[in-house]
Structure 1
Amino acid sequence: MKKLITFLLLFTMAVILPIGCSNNSPNTSEVSNNNVLSIYNWSTYIAPEVITEFENKFNVKIQYDTYESNEDLYAKIKPGNPGYDVAFPGDYMVEIMVYEGLLEELNQENIPNMKNLNEKFINPPYDPGNKYSMAYQWGTMGIGYNIKATEGEINSWSTMFDPKFKGRVALLDDMRSSFSIALISLGYDPNTTNPKEINEARDFLIKNKEAIAAFAPDTGQNLLDQGEVDLTCEWSGDIFQIMKENPNLRYAIPKEGSILLTDNMVILKGSNNKELAEKFINFILEPEIGAKISNFIKYATPNQTAKDLGLIEAADLNNPAIYPPPELFAKLDYIQDVGQATTLYDEAWTEVKLGVGN
């Protein structure tokens, strides 16, 4: 996950969430723990009014901290949960966290609004039976670009490495995401465990180092908006958020295929407020609440009832870059846990960072 908004959002969050939005461990000393729900989410990945509505409805306070990557979340929780209740890991990270015993099993009787989810998000491959997670938002990885710089629409990963954009491209500072671009460009499975293919992807990225201005920590949209790059690999909602403010920006899902993300609501092992956390998850799955979030952050909703009730903005619902048509959706893959091959990716990523120099 991730995610951009502007100074206005940050200011709004600061006003609405007075008890904190930081990357530190939760501090609930000033309020009874029984009345505090500690949430750890991707940055700028919720409509601020939703937080206020939940606090008012249940007479509680929310402690809200943020992270910038699945790996940041994992690194924070793996040594021992410092006090968080709810987090929002991506699909493959849910699988890892389940395997490592970092999540609480959900009591689905406390989450009746699960019925509102589209069937595609029921019984997902990374969490059979939704024993540990409920879908929050979904989106795609693609190319954000300045149409004035490209002088027309684009739809291929190859454009990222066109010599005309030398030094004007940002990739995600995320190992699996950046390797996915290289692997897909080479015609390989983005979840390959084949050492030869992983090394070819490594060499591909290093070969194209002249194109790469930066590996951005989920802030490529900022670089694009500020004119520091012309193209960036980013998550769909991040680009659509800034497109509202910059008419020259566009988003494309490359024709070769890309990555599908589903961020999920989970309860972390050691949560002090499991029942309240389940109330929060159920609250988010209300169609009106789910729609408010998706309409605000410009990611796709997994909430079918919200769509059926006409609560999703029509412009978003009819946008194929937010809700891809079936033929393009078929070319999207989840990032999956590659097990022991993770070491191969780690080693290759280190070589890429050294070889590219960013």
Structure 2
Amino acid sequence: MKKILSAFFALILVILGLFAFQRYLVAKENAAAGSSGKTKVLNIYNWGDYIDPALVKKFTKETGYQVNYETFDSNEAMYTKVRQGGTAYDIIVPSEYMVEKMRKEHLLVPIDKKRFTGFKYYDPRFLNDAFDPHNKYSIPYFWGTLGIIYNDKFVKKSEVSHWDQLWSSRFRDKILLVDSSRDAFGLSLISMNKSVNSKRMPDVLAAKAKLDALMPNVKAILADEMVMYLAQEEAPIGISWSGQAAEMIAQNKHLHYVVPSEGSNLWFDNLAIPRTAKHFTAIYKFLNFMSEPKNAAQNAEYVEYATPNKGAVKLLPKSVTSDRQFYPDDQTIKHLEVYSDLGSRWTQIYNDLFLEFKMTNR
């Protein structure tokens, strides 16, 4: 009898040992899953207030993936953080020239076109651009232009239809300028019929001299706060992006936006996967989710920027998509130029000259 009981208890111990070992294996597998990016988490690094929070909640509800959301205020700040690699972001939102820079430096993971099925929804005009041929590394998120915002209580449209008109003595201390070296030099270069991507020192120095001549008309050089100042009529004219213009116009019916007919910048913000990414199942679920026309349309209505998603455009109000201020026609788009990556040397030249412009002319 004792032998039977001993054998029975031995069997129990073996079974308990097997259970313990199984639990160990499961725990080990879960730990491995976490380290290989299979946990139910998605880490997004985006511009501030650049997605409808309701869509983030909807994504979590539909998929079970918890979204960790951080924001940046410039392409350069985002680039530096991704390059340092301290944080494992899964999705980032770089502008066109930064996509080019980051893909050249092998900081981006190619889009798996078998897993991302949303390209069919996008307008071909906004795909396969020079900064990312065949969209190997990026998906267009929003697009827009650089232009002039004016208040019709103080300024007529005919007075600000061309970049050169901004130099009129009538506008002394009346212009708010966006705090961006590429945009400031861009408008100056275009006004001289030069490329916004010029790497000719005579062109760049001439653009700097012309900017210096504009300074008496510049009331302030601002970032996001320009929206408030123009909406509250602190100045009659601003130079900024179409997306900011939309925000201002929503707050003040006297504000309007115009893209000078001689040309301007065509910009893109894009969804991309940085080399720090880990949660690839979540990444492709999110990219496909955001590309669904109904979701893209909802996002465009919230952000108030132009969407490159042709499926979403069909769902937006005609009053929005027929507004040539923000959805310009093909003729206008033909005269627009996309920023390219200037390389570190020329980027530094532009930035140094812009800083000099800001520091020495006040």
Question: Do Structure 1 and Structure 2 share a fold, with TM-score over 0.5?
Answer: yes
2:340 is matched with: 336
- Contact 1:166/1:210 (<8 A) preserved: yes
Indicate the larger mover: 69-78 or 108-117: 69-78
Any idea what SS the aligned residue of 1:149 has? coil
Any idea what SS the aligned residue of 1:299 has? coil
Residue of 174, 188, 193 corresponding to 2:180: 174
AA in 2 matched with 1:141: L
AA in 2 matched with 1:323: Y
TM-score, normalisation: structure 1: 0.85
1:89 is matched with: 94
Any idea what SS the aligned residue of 2:130 has? coil
- Contact 2:150/2:157 (<8 A) preserved: no
Any idea what SS the aligned residue of 1:208 has? helix
* Cα pair distance change 1:185/1:218, threshold 3 Å: farther
1:288 is matched with: 294
1:60 is matched with: 65
AA in 2 matched with 1:135: P
| Counterparts of 1:350 and 1:244, CA distance in 2 | 32
2:198 is matched with: 192
Residue of 251, 254, 262 corresponding to 2:268: 262
| Counterparts of 1:190 and 1:134, CA distance in 2 | 23
Indicate the larger mover: 202-211 or 342-351: 342-351
Indicate the larger mover: 281-290 or 158-167: 158-167
Report the aligned-residue RMSD: 1.8
- The offset of 1:87, in angstroms, is 1.1
2:17 is matched with: none
List alignment gaps of at least 5 residues for structure 2.
1-36
| Counterparts of 1:297 and 1:251, CA distance in 2 | 17
- More helix per residue: 1 or 2? 2
1:119 is matched with: 124
Q: Check if 1:207 corresponds to 2:180.
A: no
Runs of 4+ in 1 over 3 A off after TM superposition: 151-154
Q: Check if 1:313 corresponds to 2:317.
A: yes
| Counterparts of 2:179 and 2:316, CA distance in 1 | 31
TM-score, normalisation: structure 2: 0.85
1:15 is matched with: none
Describe the superposition over 1:89-145 as per-residue Cα deviations: whole angstroms up to 9, x where unpaired: 111110001111211122111111221111123322111222211111111111112
| Counterparts of 1:226 and 1:158, CA distance in 2 | 26
Q: Check if 1:226 corresponds to 2:232.
A: yes
- Contact 1:104/1:268 (<8 A) preserved: yes
- Contact 2:161/2:259 (<8 A) preserved: yes
Q: Check if 1:77 corresponds to 2:67.
A: no
- The offset of 1:196, in angstroms, is 0.5
AA in 2 matched with 1:77: V
Any idea what SS the aligned residue of 1:141 has? strand
- Contact 1:39/1:87 (<8 A) preserved: yes
2:147 is matched with: 142
Any idea what SS the aligned residue of 1:271 has? coil
2:280 is matched with: 274
- Contact 1:139/1:322 (<8 A) preserved: yes
1:107 is matched with: 112
| Counterparts of 1:151 and 1:330, CA distance in 2 | 25
Any idea what SS the aligned residue of 1:142 has? strand
Residue of 236, 257, 265 corresponding to 2:242: 236
| Counterparts of 1:167 and 1:133, CA distance in 2 | 41
| Counterparts of 1:161 and 1:68, CA distance in 2 | 30
Any idea what SS the aligned residue of 1:108 has? coil
After TM superposition, the structure 1 = structure 2 runs for residues 10-25 of structure 1, keeping only pairs within 5 Å, are none
| Counterparts of 1:229 and 1:171, CA distance in 2 | 11
- The offset of 1:81, in angstroms, is 4.5
- Contact 1:295/1:313 (<8 A) preserved: no
| Counterparts of 2:215 and 2:165, CA distance in 1 | 14
- Contact 2:43/2:67 (<8 A) preserved: yes
| Counterparts of 1:283 and 1:293, CA distance in 2 | 11
2:54 is matched with: 49
2:31 is matched with: none
1:164 is matched with: 170
Q: Check if 1:251 corresponds to 2:265.
A: no
1:130 is matched with: 135
- Contact 1:221/1:234 (<8 A) preserved: no
Number of aligned residue pairs: 324
Describe the superposition over 1:176-229 as per-residue Cα deviations: whole angstroms up to 9, x where unpaired: 111101111122111110000100111111122111122212432222112222
Describe the superposition over 1:31-89 as per-residue Cα deviations: whole angstroms up to 9, x where unpaired: x9822212111222222221111111111221222222222222332222523211111
| Counterparts of 1:208 and 1:250, CA distance in 2 | 22
AA in 2 matched with 1:237: G
| Counterparts of 1:254 and 1:99, CA distance in 2 | 32
List alignment gaps of at least 5 residues for structure 1.
1-31
- The offset of 1:251, in angstroms, is 0.8
Any idea what SS the aligned residue of 1:139 has? strand
